[in-house]
Amino acid sequence: MRVLGVDPGLGRIGVCILEKNGSSYRSIIHKLISTPPIELPKRLSIIEEELAELIHQYKPDIMVTERLTFARNTTTALDVSKALGVILLISSHHNLPWVEFAPTEIKKCVTGVGSATKQQVQYMVMKLLGIRDAPKPDDVSDAIAIALSYAMQHNSYVALK
C-alpha cells in the first residue's frame, strides 16, 4: 500500500509517499513543495503541478491530509484553505481516495500521546522509518507522520471520495 501524506499549506507543503509492506514502513520520497510569494493563482498552480507529478510518478493508493485548525490569523487560514481545496481537487482528478486526521489523532497514532510535541513526533518518525536524521523542515516530518497515521491503522478508516 502506498500512502500520500500531505501537510497542507500555501508557501510550504510537506509531502510524503509512504509504502507499507506488512508491518514495515518506508518513505519512497518525502519533500517540501514551496511556492514563492507571488499572486495566489500561480502559487496554487505550482501546488497542483507538483502534486500531480508525484501522483503520476509514484501512484499512491490514498491521500491523507491533516485537518486544518486555526485559532488566530484568518487571512492565513483562508489562503491555506484555498490550497487545501486545490489539493483535494487533485485527489478527485486522480480518483485518489482521501482521508483527513486531526492533529491530535496524528500525534496519538504516531507517539501514543495526543498532546505530543513536534520533537516527539519527529523522534517516532525517525524510529518507525529507521532513519538517523529528522526530516526537515517540520512540514516534511509532519507529512510523514500523517502518512504513517493512516498506514498504521488503515483498516480503521473509510476513505472519502
Residue 48 is among the residues annotated as catalytic for this protein? no
Which residue is it, cell 480518483? 95
Residue 139 is among the residues annotated as catalytic for this protein? yes
Residue 7 is among the residues annotated as catalytic for this protein? yes
CB 64 within 8 A of CB 150: yes
Return the beta strands (E) in 12-148 as ranges: 12-21, 24-34, 62-66, 98-101
Q: Per the residue annotation, which of 66, 100, 138, 142 is the catalytic one?
A: 66
Q: Is the preceding peptide bond at 137 cis, omega within 30 degrees of 0?
A: yes
Q: What CA–CA distance (Å, rounded) separates 4 from 63?
A: 5
Q: What CA–CA distance (Å, rounded) separates 113 from 32?
A: 26
Q: What CA–CA distance (Å, rounded) separates 93 from 111?
A: 33
- Residue 51 half-sphere exposure toward CB, CA atoms < 13 A: 36
Which residue is it, cell 504516531? 110
Q: Per the residue annotation, which of 100, 138, 139, 142 is the catalytic one?
A: 139
Enumerate the active-site residues. Answer: 7, 66, 139
